[in-house]
C-alpha cells in the first residue's frame, strides 16, 4: 500500500448509508439497487464506470448481484465473507486493485434485511452445534472476553457502560439512528443481564439496511473534484481458539492495528477519529486496547474522562451512534464504520459531533466472535482535498 508521505493513495469518492433501519416490503434487489445508485451519485460516477465489485454474503452470490446492479464491465469480483470485518478489509483490497491497475473504480457494497428474515447466512462452524448445546452462544463468547478483562486487569461493568453512554449521546444527534435516547451509565447497569457481565444495553441493535462506497485512483478522484479520503493502509488477520490455547484479552486488533499504523506512517497520537466495531461494548474496549489507544489498566480513567465523546473528547469514537445505537445492518457493522469515518474526514458528520479539521481516522472491523474464531481488519484513512 502507498505510504502516508505519497499523495497518490487510492481514495473513497462516494459513500452512502441507507437511512432505513426497518424496511418491511423491501426485497434484497430493491435494497441493493438503492444503495448502489446513491453511492454512485455521491461519487459522480455511473454503472459503466465500475469495473470492480467487492461484497460478502448475497443471495445467489456476487455474480447475481452484479446482474441486479447492471454492472457489465467488471474485471474483478470478490465475495469473501469475513463477517463484520468484510468491508473494512474490502477497502484495502479495493485500494490494491486500483494501485495494481486491475481496476479503475471499485464498488464495495453490502445490504441485508434481517428484520424481514430475508438475509442469507453463512454456514456455521462445524463445532457450532456442539458449542451452542453447551451454552456457548455468540453473546456468551463475548462475555468470556469481558470476564477475562475484568479478572486480569480490573475492568468493571461501569467502564463498559461508559462506551454505551457515549454511543447513545452521539446517536441522539442522528435522525436516522435506531435508538436515539441518551443513556446513563446507571441505566446500562440496571438493564437485564444477557450473559454476565454483559447487560442488554451492552449489546448492539439488529437492523435492516446497508451501504456502499467507491474506491478510485487519486487521479480519477481529482477529475471528479472529490474531497474523499485516501486509503493509506490496511491490515487483516484471523484467529481461532486453538483448542483453548490462546489469550482472550489479546485479539486481532493487537496485530492489525499496529501493522496498519506503521504502514501508513502514523501513530495513535495522530488519529483524530476512530470507527471501532461495536457489536458489544467489550468489542470496543478490546479493539482500542489492541490498536494501542490505551492499556487495559488505563481504561477506567480514559473512558470516565469522556475521551470517546465527540466533538471534544481526546479520541472520539463512532460519532453516528455505532452498532450499539445507530445501525448494525445484517448483523455486521463494518460498512457503517467505514462510512462514518468517511463522513468525518469530509466534514459531513452530524454537526453536533463533527470533529474540527480531522486529518487521520482509523477504522477497525471485527468478524464472527472474539471469544472463539474471528477475522479482523484495520484501515487508516487520511483527509483528501478537492482539486
Question: What residues does each domain of the chain span?
Answer: 11-120+208-229, 128-205+232-382
Are domains 11-120+208-229 and 128-205+232-382 of this chain identical in fold? yes
**CA-to-CA distance for 332 and 386, rounded, in angstroms?**
31
209-216: strand order across its sheet: 76-78, 52-54, 105-112, 209-216, 11-17, 230-240, 373-382, 360-368, 273-276
CB 261 within 8 A of CB 253: no
H/E run at residue 170: helix 157-171
H/E run at residue 378: strand 373-382
Q: Which of 198, 207, 203, 199 is nearest to 177 (CA)?
A: 207
**So what's the pLDDT on residue 387?**
66
**Close Cβ partners of 35 (under 8 Å, ≥ 6 residues apart):** 16, 18, 109, 111, 210, 211, 212
**So what's the pLDDT on residue 134?**
79
Q: Which of 328, 346, 380, 61 is nearest to 203 (CA)?
A: 328
**So what's the pLDDT on residue 1?**
45
Q: What interhelical angle do 281-291 and 157-171 show, nearest 10?
A: 100
The C-alpha torsion from 36 through 37 and 39 to 44, rounded to 10°, is 140
H/E run at residue 220: helix 218-223
**pLDDT tens-place values along the chain, 387 residues long:** 444 445 789 999 999 999 999 999 999 999 999 999 999 999 999 999 999 999 998 888 899 999 999 999 999 999 999 999 999 999 999 999 999 999 999 999 999 999 998 866 555 677 777 777 877 888 999 999 999 999 999 999 999 999 999 999 999 999 999 999 999 999 999 999 999 999 999 999 999 999 999 999 999 999 999 999 999 999 999 988 877 777 888 889 999 999 999 999 999 999 999 999 999 999 999 999 999 999 999 999 999 999 999 999 999 999 999 999 999 999 999 999 999 999 999 999 999 999 999 999 999 999 998 888 899 999 999 999 876
Per CATH, the number for 11-120+208-229 is 3.40.47.10
Q: Which of 186, 191, 211 is nearest to 202 (CA)?
A: 191
**So what's the pLDDT on residue 240?**
86
**So what's the pLDDT on residue 118?**
81
CATH, domain 128-205+232-382, list 1.25.40.10, 3.40.47.10, 1.10.3720.10, 2.60.40.10: 3.40.47.10
**Close Cβ partners of 326 (under 8 Å, ≥ 6 residues apart):** 167, 170, 171, 174, 176, 177, 178, 179, 205, 318, 320, 336
CB 2 within 8 A of CB 8: yes
**So what's the pLDDT on residue 122?**
55
10 Å Cβ neighbour count for 309?
21
The C-alpha torsion from 172 through 175 and 176 to 182, rounded to 10°, is 10
**So what's the pLDDT on residue 114?**
94
C-alpha cell at 39: 453511492
- Helix, coil or strand: residue 35: helix
Give the β-pairing of 76-78 and 52-54.
parallel
CA angle 349, 383, 299 (to 5 degrees): 70
**So what's the pLDDT on residue 364?**
98
**So what's the pLDDT on residue 60?**
84
10 Å Cβ neighbour count for 132?
13
Give the β-pairing of 105-112 and 209-216.
antiparallel
The pTM of this model reads 0.95
DSSP 354: P
**CA-to-CA distance for 375 and 236, rounded, in angstroms?**
7
Q: Which of 322, 352, 325 is nearest to 340 (CA)?
A: 322
Amino acid at each position: 500500500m502507498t505510504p502516508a508521505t505519497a499523495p497518490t493513495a487510492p481514495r473513497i469518492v462516494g459513500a452512502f448509508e441507507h437511512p432505513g433501519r426497518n424496511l418491511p416490503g423491501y426485497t434484497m434487489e430493491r435494497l441493493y439497487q438503492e444503495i448502489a445508485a446513491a453511492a454512485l451519485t455521491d461519487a459522480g460516477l455511473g454503472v459503466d464506470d465500475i469495473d470492480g465489485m467487492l461484497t460478502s454474503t448475497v443471495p445467489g452470490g456476487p455474480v447475481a448481484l452484479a446482474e441486479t446492479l447492471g454492472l457489465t464491465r467488471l474485471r474483478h469480483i470478490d465475495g469473501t465473507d469475513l463477517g463484520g470485518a468484510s468491508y473494512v478489509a474490502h477497502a484495502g483490497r479495493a485500494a490494491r486493485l486500483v494501485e495494481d491497475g486491475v481496476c479503475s473504480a471499485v464498488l464495495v457494497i453490502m445490504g441485508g434485511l434481517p428484520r424481514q428474515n430475508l438475509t442469507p447466512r453463512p454456514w456455521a462452524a462445524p463445532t457450532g452445534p456442539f458449542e451452542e448445546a453447551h451454552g456457548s452462544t455468540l453473546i456468551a463468547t463475548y462475555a468470556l472476553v469481558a470476564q477475562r478483562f475484568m479478572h486480569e486487569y480490573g475492568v468493571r461493568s461501569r467502564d463498559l457502560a461508559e462506551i454505551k453512554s457515549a454511543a447513545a449521546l452521539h446517536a441522539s444527534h442522528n435522525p436516522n439512528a435506531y435508538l436515539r435516547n441518551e443513556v446513563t451509565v446507571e441505566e446500562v447497569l440496571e438493564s437485564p443481564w444477557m450473559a454476565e457481565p454483559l447487560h442488554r444495553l451492552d449489546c448492539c441493535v439488529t437492523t435492516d439496511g446497508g451501504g456502499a462506497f467507491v474506491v478510485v485512483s487519486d487521479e480519477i478522484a481529482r477529475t471528479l473534484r472529490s474531497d474523499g479520503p485516501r486509503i493509506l493502509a490496511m491490515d487483516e488477520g484471523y484467529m481461532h481458539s486453538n483448542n483453548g490455547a490462546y489469550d482472550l484479552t489479546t485479539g486481532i486488533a493487537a496485530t492489525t492495528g499496529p501493522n496498519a499504523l506503521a504502514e501508513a506512517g502514523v501513530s495513535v497520537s495522530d488519529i483524530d477519529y476512530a470507527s471501532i466495531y461495536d457489536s458489544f461494548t467489550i468489542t470496543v474496549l478490546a479493539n482500542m486496547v489492541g490498536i494501542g489507544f490505551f492499556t487495559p489498566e488505563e481504561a477506567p480513567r480514559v473512558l470516565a474522562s469522556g475521551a470517546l465523546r465527540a466533538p471534544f473528547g481526546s479520541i472520539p469514537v463512532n460519532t453516528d451512534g455505532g452498532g450499539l445505537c445507530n445501525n448494525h445492518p445484517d448483523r455486521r457493522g463494518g460498512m457503517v464504520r467505514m462510512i462514518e469515518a468517511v463522513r468525518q474526514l469530509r466534514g459531513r458528520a452530524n454537526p453536533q459531533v463533527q470533529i474540527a479539521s480531522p486529518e487521520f481516522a482509523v477504522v477497525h472491523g471485527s468478524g464472527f466472535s472474539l471469544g472463539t474464531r474471528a477475522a479482523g481488519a484495520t484501515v487508516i484513512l487520511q483527509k483528501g482535498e478537492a482539486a
